Amino acid sequence: MNRALNYNGFQYLYFLQDWLDNRLKLRQSADEGLNVASDSEIPDFLKNATDEELNYLADSSSKFRTAVENALQSKTPFADNLDKLANQSKEYLQVIGYFIDKYKPDFENLSDDIEQLQQEVKSKLANHLSISLYETVKESLKSISKIYQADFDILGLKDDYYTKRNNINSKVSNIYERDITIYLKLFIDNFDTPIYKWSASAFSLFTLSEYYGKYGSDKIVREICEALIDNANSYFENTQILSYILDLYEHGEKGLREAEKFIKLRATNSTRFKNVIGENTKTLIELIEESENEWRKEVSSIKNINEITKYTQLTTNDLSNILSVSEEKLEERGLLESNEHLTKLLGVYARGYDMFERSDFQHWLKHPNLTLDGKIPFDLLHTSVGLEEVSNTIGRIEHGIPF
* Distance between CA atoms of residues 105 and 84, nearest Å: 29
pLDDT of residue 30: 45
- Please tell me the total count of domains within the chain: 2
Asked if residue 10 belongs to a domain, the reply is no
Instruction: Choose among 311, 267, 252, 261: nearest CA to 291.
Output: 261
Asked if residue 6 belongs to a domain, the reply is no
**pLDDT tens track, the chain, 403 positions:** 344 444 344 434 444 555 565 555 555 554 444 444 455 555 666 777 887 888 888 788 888 888 999 999 999 999 999 999 999 988 888 888 888 888 877 766 666 767 777 888 888 898 899 999 999 999 999 898 888 888 888 888 877 888 888 889 899 999 998 888 888 899 999 999 999 999 899 989 988 988 899 998 999 999 999 999 999 999 998 998 898 888 888 877 777 877 887 787 777 777 767 766 665 444 545 554 555 566 666 677 777 888 888 888 999 888 888 888 888 777 776 666 677 888 888 888 887 887 777 888 888 999 988 778 889 999 999 998 888 888 878 766 655 444 4
pLDDT of residue 59: 84
Whether residue 181 sits in one domain with residue 58: yes
* Distance between CA atoms of residues 116 and 120, nearest Å: 6
Whether residue 253 sits in one domain with residue 341: no
Instruction: Choose among 141, 322, 163, 345: nearest CA to 228.
Output: 141
Cβ contacts of residue 189 below 8 Å, gap of 6+? 3
Whether residue 337 sits in one domain with residue 298: yes
Whether residue 150 sits in one domain with residue 62: yes
pLDDT of residue 281: 40
For residue 321, give its domain range: 294-398
End-to-end, the C-alpha distance of the chain in Å comes to 30
Where does residue 118 rank: exposed (0-12), middle (13-18), buried (19+ CB within 10 A)?
middle
Whether residue 250 sits in one domain with residue 112: yes
Asked if residue 5 belongs to a domain, the reply is no
DSSP state, residue 80: H
Whether residue 375 sits in one domain with residue 250: no
Asked if residue 346 belongs to a domain, the reply is yes
The pTM of the full predicted model, rounded to 2 decimals, is: 0.66
Instruction: Choose among 247, 242, 251: nearest CA to 4.
Output: 242
Whether residue 230 sits in one domain with residue 186: yes
3-state SS class at 356: coil
Q: Measured over all CA atoms, what is the biggest interatomic distance in the chain, rounded to whole angstroms?
A: 100
CA-based Rg of the chain, rounded to a whole angstrom? 27
Helix spans in 74-130 (H) = 78-103, 111-125
Whether residue 166 sits in one domain with residue 131: yes
* Distance between CA atoms of residues 14 and 278, nearest Å: 34
CA distances from 236 to 155, 228, 232, 277, 397 (A): 10, 12, 6, 11, 27
Q: How many CB atoms lie within 10 A of CB 334?
A: 7
Whether residue 204 sits in one domain with residue 103: yes
Q: Which of 234, 268, 302 is the last residue of a domain?
A: 268
Whether residue 314 sits in one domain with residue 259: no
Q: How many CB atoms lie within 10 A of CB 178?
A: 11
Asked if residue 352 belongs to a domain, the reply is yes
DSSP state, residue 2: -
Whether residue 357 sits in one domain with residue 214: no
Q: Which of 250, 268, 286 is the last residue of a domain?
A: 268
| DSSP3 helix / strand / coil % (the chain, rounded to 5) | 75, 0, 25
Whether residue 255 sits in one domain with residue 305: no
